Amino acid sequence: MTRTARLLIVGPQGSGKGTQGARIAQALGIPTVSTGDVFRANIAAGTPLGEQVKAITAAGNLVSDELTGQIVRDRLSQDDAAAGFLLDGYPRNLRQVQDLDGFLAERDAHLDAVIELSVPRAESIERLALRAKEQGRTDDTDEIIAKRLAIYESETAPILDVYRERGTVDTIDGVGTLDEITERIVAALTARGITRPAAV
């Protein structure tokens, strides 16, 4: 029986981590903490943060560690995240891993599992191109997609080595139907004793 479900989902752009993260969080009854969602909501609302983020992402760049960390720490300090959460989009580099470690250590906590969605590069590019067409997303041009995948491979992929050393990574085949992939993730978490807590 698990005490908490503090999770991180990692995968290249187009791996489906946003969709799978939301499904897993709902199944476990924990909040999803997606930096992308927070940023997009601010852009849509035209807030100062949104305008700042819009300019950064339009150029294909990533929001600074400092700004991202501030937003995540604020969200994880809220009551609904006390017993568990699913992080999507943070930490995305080694510095952010250290920041998150420090934040959780202050609360005598740690990540219980890291879900790595493994998807071939060609599949990611194909999915992103389709999404750009369907959703009319201006941040999904071929050039920006290639830049983002390169950043993922150079900055984000190395964090998995840190978590592998801790024995917390479950690598999941991210190719298949939505339900098949969700079932693979649930099975891996169940094997770790991470299941939805019984209603109190």
Per-residue model confidence (pLDDT) at position 118: 94
Catalytic residue (one of 17, 23, 75, 184): 17
Instruction: Identify whether 75 is a catalytic site residue.
Output: no
Catalytic residue (one of 131, 147, 192, 196): 131
Catalytic residue (one of 23, 75, 92, 127): 92
Residue-wise pLDDT tens digits, 176-191: 999 999 999 999 999 9
What residue ranges do the domains of the chain occupy?
A: 5-191
Instruction: Identify whether 3 is a catalytic site residue.
Output: no
Instruction: Identify whether 107 is a catalytic site residue.
Output: no
- Site of tokens 């250290």: 98
Overall size of the chain counted in residues: 200
| Structure-token pair, residue 197 | 């807590």
Decide which of 3.40.50.300, 1.10.3720.10, 3.40.50.720, 3.10.250.10 is the CATH code for 5-191: 3.40.50.300
Mean pLDDT of 131-135: 82
**18 burial level (CB within 10 Å; 0-12, 13-18, 19+):** middle
Residue-wise pLDDT tens digits, 31-90: 999 988 888 888 898 988 888 888 988 888 878 898 898 888 888 988 999 889 999 989
Instruction: Identify whether 23 is a catalytic site residue.
Output: no
Instruction: Identify whether 95 is a catalytic site residue.
Output: no
Per-residue model confidence (pLDDT) at position 182: 96
DSSP string, 92-103: -SHHHHHHHHHH
Distance (Å, whole) CA 173 – CA 16: 11
Distance (Å, whole) CA 116 – CA 170: 6
Contact 94, 157 (CB under 8 A): no
Catalytic residue (one of 75, 127, 148, 184): 148
Burial letters 38-61, b for 16+ CB under 10 A, else e: bbbebbeeeeebbebbbeebeebe
> Is 175 a residue whose pLDDT tops 80?
yes
| Structure-token pair, residue 151 | 């950043």
| Residue that wins the pLDDT comparison between 26 and 128 | 26
Cis peptide bond N-terminal to 12, omega within 30: no
> Is 2 a residue whose pLDDT tops 70?
no
Chain mean pLDDT for the chain: 89
Catalytic residue (one of 3, 121, 133, 137): 137
